[in-house]
Structure 1
Amino acid sequence: MIKNLLQNYIKDYKITLTENQYEQFQKYFELLAEWNEKMNLTAITDESGVALKHFADSLSLLNFVDIPQNSSLADVGTGAGFPGVVLKIARPDIKLTLIDSLNKRLVFLGEVCAQLGIEAELIHSRAEDGARDEKLRENFDFAVSRAVARMNVLSEYCLPYVKVGGAFCAMKGAQANEEFKESLNAINTLGGKLEKKYFFELPENGGERAIAVVRKVKNTPQKYPRQLGKIKAKAL
């Protein structure tokens, strides 16, 4: 059962889940396993792996980042819903937007939200295109992303979504500190300031993780984000 595994993994976390929330995580796992047979959502498919490396990993953000009640949060390049859907289960007050370039993933996430009884806005868009949409640009208290791209590239994808005063939270794996250092120019150019860096290990020797919190201190210049080809050809 996901509940027993997750209870153990998050026993030292700063959150408490209800019975209903554990049931939502169980259903989420079942849907992930079912849909993963017909489309590639995750390479991790066993209960303990999903509970630790997707659910507990996503929830770790709440140990380090204070997300005020009713904050708006964009999960950029959400994939199978990590960390966005996980955060929404734990914090139903969050106003969640899930952004992904692959429509079939959003079809899956729509089914997840329907069956779990949670609300989220689903946006089918490449990250750099969505950030130029005036309805999305600088419209969120938080943007989050988990292991999508290197930090300097990820900052160009994500910071344009964040309103001034809000924050972009990048969830990364081992050796992230070098990425954080090389991204300082990009962060500054895009209107951000690297505020905090956290380094920790997942429970049960689940691996090294890092979280960078980038505060949005001024508006992102209108020319950013650039087209994908330019981002790839010359990262900030």
Structure 2
Amino acid sequence: MAEQRRDAPGSDGTDGGHRAGGAGEAGPGGAMGTAWAAEAYGEAAAAWEALVATARRTVADGLVVGTSGNVSARVGDLVLVTPSGVPYDRLTPADITGVDLTGRQVVGTLVPTSELPMHLAVYRTTDARAVVHTHAVHATAVSTLVTELPPVHYMAGALGGVVRVAPYATYGTEELARNMLRALDGRSGCLLRNHGTITHGATLDQAYDRTAQLEWMCRLWLTASSVPGLTPSLLTEAHMAEAGARLKGYGQRR
């Protein structure tokens, strides 16, 4: 569901969005509170710049259309999120938008993404520092066909194992967030039935890479399973476990 900017309470089924600028709030549009020292604000500003770059990348790489996805990053107890219904190429440093872990807006004046419950659920239950949600076409197609993505490639091990599909629930609801958490148990990514993908990671780059890999694996399965008279070979649980263990040490070591 493409997000819309909300100017009145409840226009997309949520609480209408908090407006920053009250006592003790901080950031553009708000007063600098005691919890927001210059150093903390500088860290958040840098994270916002990286978040916007990641959001724009989801559009450039065809993982979302318009404002249909959302991205977030955690800085301490602050969660920076893309705002609802604002094209990513229009976002500026002054548009920084952030909430605390209860969902109360503490930075900025733009209404946060309507999918905030999913993002907050991930941060409350994992050590993730970034979340990427998309409506990638191949992944969304797969979410309508199966209850889990058949293990056609070992990169599923990078997400913790066979990728599950969370049951459908209306976007932006706590029910969807609960369904997502069950599908994410022991995983860093899952599909959302008739909706899209969600992944998390220690960094924005890692969360984004997991999203891109998930979309690629969905495309791979759709391609292989479309060949008449043939059925794709699938990996076993042992194959997946071995690949997952090896992938933990993948890449450069600092």
Fold in common (TM above 0.5): no
- TM-score (ref. length: structure 2): 0.31
Rg larger in structure: 2
Greater share of residues in strand: 1
TM-score (ref. length: structure 1) = 0.33
